[in-house]
Amino acid sequence: MGSKNPPRTFYDPALRSTVERAFDAAWTVLQTRDPFRDLDQDYELKTALSRKLMGLATDGVTDPIELREWALEGLPR
């Protein structure tokens, strides 16, 4: 028997949009923290942030502000 409320996936346009907004907001914070760092070429940081956001979203965090704050924990200050 299947679950009545399956977990949200990235095929859900609303969740995808929320994660994209959280990524953009978190990226802005990271740029502000270190304005001299070339973040456009920092693919490792982009990947780390993306993975963290995806993990949080699949665990049920869907508020963009919470996603941003939780994703920034543990990333460079």
Q: Is residue 24 part of a domain?
A: yes
Lowest mean pLDDT among 4-8, 24-28, 39-43, 72-76: 4-8
Q: Is residue 1 part of a domain?
A: no
Q: Is residue 37 part of a domain?
A: yes
Number of domains in the chain: 1
Q: Is residue 5 part of a domain?
A: no
> What are the CA-CA distances from residue 26 to residues 1, 39, 48, 65, 75 (Å)?
39, 12, 12, 9, 10
Is a pLDDT exceeding 80 seen at residue 7?
Answer: no
Structural domain span for residue 51: 13-72
Is a pLDDT exceeding 50 seen at residue 75?
Answer: yes
Whole-number average pLDDT of the chain = 84
Lowest mean pLDDT among 2-6, 30-34, 55-59: 2-6
